Structure 1
Amino acid sequence: MNASPHRVLLAAVLCAAACAGAPRARAAVPAPADTPYPGTLKLAVDASDVARRIFRVREEIPVQPGPLTLLYPQWIPGNHSPTGPLDKFAGLVVSADGKPLPWTRDPLDVYAFHVDVPQGVGTLAVEFQYLSPQDRSQGRVVMTPDMLNLQWNAVALYPAGHDARLITVAPSVTLPEGWQFGTALEVASRNGASTTFKPVPFATLIDSPMFAGRHFKRVDLDPGAQVPVHLDIVADAPEALAIKPDQLAIHRALVRQAYKLFGARHYDHYDFLLALSDNLSGIGLEHHRSSENGVGPGYFTDWAKSAPERDLLAHEYTHSWNGKFRRPADLATPNFNVPMQDSLLWVYEGQTQYWGYVLAARSGLWTAEQTRDALASVAATYADNRPGFDWRNVQDTTNDPIIAMRRPLPFRNYQMSEDYYSAGQLIWLAVDTELRELTRDKRSLDDFARAFFGVDDGVWTVKTYTFDDVVATLDALAPHDWAGFLRQRLDAHAPPLDGLARAGWKLVYTDKPSAMTQGYETERKVADFTYSLGIVVANKDGKLVDVRWDGPAFKAGVPSGATLVAVDGREYKAERLKDAITAAKTGQAPIELLIKSADSYRTVRVDYHDGLKYPHLERIPGAPDRLSAILAPRR
Structure 2
Amino acid sequence: MRLPASKSLSSATALLALIAPIVAPLFSGFVIANGALAATENAAADKTQVNTGKSADDKAYPGVVQLIVDASDLDRKIFNIRASIPVQAGPLTLYFPEWLPGKHGTNGALNQLAGLRFSGNQQVIAWKRDPLNMYAFHLQIPAGVSQLNAEYQFLSPTDDKFGRVTMTPEIIGVQWNNMILYPAGAASDQIHIQPTLILPTGFQFGSALELAEQHEKLSPSQNQSQSQSQSQSQSQNEFQFKPVTLEQLVDSPVFAGKYFKRFDLNPGAKIPVHLNVVADKPESLNATPEQIAAHQVLVQQATILFGSQHYHHYDFLLSLSDEFSGIGLEHHQSSENGVRPGYFSDWTKKSSGRDLLAHEYTHSWNGKFRRPADLLTPHFNTPMQDSLLWVYEGQTQYWGYVLAARSGLMKQEHIRDVLANVAAYYDHQSGRSWRNLQDTTNNPVFVNRRGQAWSDYQRDEDYYREGALLWLEIDAQLRALSQEKRSLNDFASKFFGVNDGSTTPLSYQLNDIIRTLNDIQPFDWGHFLQERVEGLQSKTPTASLELAGWKLVYTEKPSEYAKASEDASHDNDFLYSLGFSLDKTGKISRLLFNSPAGKANILSGSVIIAVNGKSYKAEALKSAITNAKTQKQAIELIVRHGDYYRTIRLDYFEGLKYPALVRNNLIPDRLSKILTPLK
Amino acid at match of 2:497: G
CA RMSD of aligned residues (A): 1.6
Does structure 1 residue 382 correspond to structure 2 residue 426?
A: yes
Does structure 1 residue 141 correspond to structure 2 residue 165?
A: yes
Q: Distance in 2 between matches of 1:349 and 1:25?
A: 33
Q: Distance in 1 between matches of 2:236 and 2:600?
A: 65
Task: Show the counterpart of 1:89.
Answer: 113
SS class of match (2:348)? helix
- Output the TM-score relative to the length of structure 1: 0.94
- Compute the displacement of 1:238 (Å): 0.3
Note the alpha carbon deviations across 1:388-424, whole angstroms, 9 max, x for none.
1121111010000001111111011111110000010
Residue of structure 1 aligned with 2:577, choices 528, 532, 540: 532
Q: Distance in 1 between matches of 2:243 and 2:542?
A: 48
Amino acid at match of 1:535: F
Amino acid at match of 2:562: T
Q: Equivalent residues in 2 for 1:353-368 (5 A)?
A: 353-368=397-412
- Compute the displacement of 1:325 (Å): 0.2
Larger RCO, structure (CA 8 Å, separation 6 or more): 2
Task: Show the counterpart of 2:197.
Answer: 173
Q: Distance in 2 between matches of 1:25 and 1:64?
A: 25
Task: Show the counterpart of 1:17.
Answer: none
Residue of structure 2 aligned with 1:99, choices 117, 123, 126: 123
Amino acid at match of 1:357: Y
SS class of match (1:374)? helix
Query: Does the Cα contact within 8 Å between 1:596 and 1:602 map onto a contact in 2?
Result: yes
Query: Does the Cα contact within 8 Å between 1:47 and 1:174 map onto a contact in 2?
Result: yes
Q: Distance in 1 between matches of 2:184 and 2:486?
A: 47
Query: Does the Cα contact within 8 Å between 2:350 and 2:565 map onto a contact in 1?
Result: no
Q: Equivalent residues in 2 for 1:273-312 (5 A)?
A: 273-312=317-356
SS class of match (1:309)? coil
Residue of structure 2 aligned with 1:222, choices 266, 275, 279: 266
Does structure 1 residue 516 correspond to structure 2 residue 516?
A: no
Q: Distance in 2 between matches of 1:522 and 1:102?
A: 55
Query: Does the Cα contact within 8 Å between 2:86 and 2:146 map onto a contact in 1?
Result: yes
Query: Does the Cα contact within 8 Å between 1:298 and 1:306 map onto a contact in 2?
Result: no
Q: Equivalent residues in 2 for 1:57-136 (5 A)?
A: 57-136=81-160
Does structure 1 residue 486 correspond to structure 2 residue 529?
A: yes
Task: Show the counterpart of 1:233.
Answer: 277
Residue of structure 2 aligned with 1:596, choices 635, 640, 659: 640
SS class of match (2:93)? strand
Note the alpha carbon deviations across 1:26-66, whole angstroms, 9 max, x for none.
99899686110000001100111111111111110001111
Does structure 1 residue 445 correspond to structure 2 residue 469?
A: no
Does structure 1 residue 56 correspond to structure 2 residue 80?
A: yes
After superposing the two structures, state which structure 1 stretch, 417-426 or 33-42, moved more.
Answer: 33-42
- Compute the displacement of 1:497 (Å): 2.7
Q: Distance in 1 between matches of 2:170 and 2:615?
A: 40
Task: Show the counterpart of 1:434.
Answer: 477
Query: Does the Cα contact within 8 Å between 2:192 and 2:245 map onto a contact in 1?
Result: yes
Note the alpha carbon deviations across 1:333-377, whole angstroms, 9 max, x for none.
110000000000000000000000000000000111111111111
Does structure 1 residue 44 correspond to structure 2 residue 87?
A: no
Task: Show the counterpart of 1:617.
Answer: 661
Q: Equivalent residues in 2 for 1:453-492 (5 A)?
A: 453-492=496-535
Task: Show the counterpart of 1:13.
Answer: none
Query: Does the Cα contact within 8 Å between 1:346 and 1:398 map onto a contact in 2?
Result: yes
C-alpha spacing 1:306/1:294, structure 2 compared with 1 (3 Å): farther
Note the alpha carbon deviations across 1:75-116, whole angstroms, 9 max, x for none.
011110001000111111011012110111111111000111
Aligned length: 610
Residue of structure 2 aligned with 1:192, choices 236, 240, 250: 236
Q: Distance in 2 between matches of 1:40 and 1:484?
A: 50
SS class of match (1:187)? coil
SS class of match (2:70)? strand
Residue of structure 2 aligned with 1:551, choices 589, 595, 610: 595
Task: Quote the sequence identity (%).
Answer: 54
After superposing the two structures, state which structure 1 stretch, 563-572 or 469-478, moved more.
Answer: 563-572
Q: Distance in 2 between matches of 1:26 and 1:44?
A: 36
- Compute the displacement of 1:622 (Å): 2.1
SS class of match (2:189)? helix
SS class of match (1:178)? coil
- Compute the displacement of 1:500 (Å): 1.0
Task: Show the counterpart of 2:175.
Answer: 151
Q: Equivalent residues in 2 for 1:326-341 (5 A)?
A: 326-341=370-385
C-alpha spacing 1:620/1:142, structure 2 compared with 1 (3 Å): same
Q: Distance in 2 between matches of 1:25 and 1:504?
A: 56
SS class of match (1:399)? helix
After superposing the two structures, state which structure 1 stretch, 200-209 or 560-569, moved more.
Answer: 560-569
- Compute the displacement of 1:523 (Å): 3.4
Query: Does the Cα contact within 8 Å between 1:546 and 1:560 map onto a contact in 2?
Result: yes
Task: Show the counterpart of 2:454.
Answer: 411
Query: Does the Cα contact within 8 Å between 1:26 and 1:106 map onto a contact in 2?
Result: no
After superposing the two structures, state which structure 1 stretch, 198-207 or 488-497, moved more.
Answer: 488-497
- Output the TM-score relative to the length of structure 2: 0.88
Query: Does the Cα contact within 8 Å between 1:323 and 1:348 map onto a contact in 2?
Result: yes
SS class of match (2:100)? coil
SS class of match (1:218)? strand
Structure 2 unmatched runs, 5+: 1-9, 19-53, 216-234
Q: Distance in 1 between matches of 2:83 and 2:63?
A: 13
SS class of match (1:355)? helix
Task: Show the counterpart of 1:399.
Answer: 442
Query: Does the Cα contact within 8 Å between 1:325 and 1:463 map onto a contact in 2?
Result: yes
Q: Distance in 2 between matches of 1:231 and 1:321?
A: 18
Aligned structure 1 segments of 4 or more residues deviating by more than 3 angstroms: 24-33
Q: Distance in 2 between matches of 1:520 and 1:404?
A: 27
Task: Show the counterpart of 1:9.
Answer: none
Q: Distance in 2 between matches of 1:461 and 1:621?
A: 46
Amino acid at match of 1:600: Y
Q: Distance in 2 between matches of 1:376 and 1:503?
A: 13
Q: Distance in 2 between matches of 1:371 and 1:48?
A: 42
Does structure 1 residue 257 correspond to structure 2 residue 301?
A: yes
Task: Show the counterpart of 1:266.
Answer: 310
Amino acid at match of 2:571: V
Note the alpha carbon deviations across 1:280-337, whole angstroms, 9 max, x for none.
1110000000000011101001102341120000000000000000000000111000
Query: Does the Cα contact within 8 Å between 1:432 and 1:445 map onto a contact in 2?
Result: yes
Task: Show the counterpart of 1:503.
Answer: 548
Note the alpha carbon deviations across 1:238-296, whole angstroms, 9 max, x for none.
00000111111101000000011000000000000000011111100000000000111
C-alpha spacing 1:27/1:328, structure 2 compared with 1 (3 Å): closer
SS class of match (2:631)? coil
Note the alpha carbon deviations across 1:537-573, whole angstroms, 9 max, x for none.
011x221111111101112221111111111111111
Query: Does the Cα contact within 8 Å between 2:630 and 2:653 map onto a contact in 1?
Result: yes
Residue of structure 2 aligned with 1:347, choices 386, 391, 401: 391
SS class of match (1:291)? strand
Task: Show the counterpart of 1:164.
Answer: 188
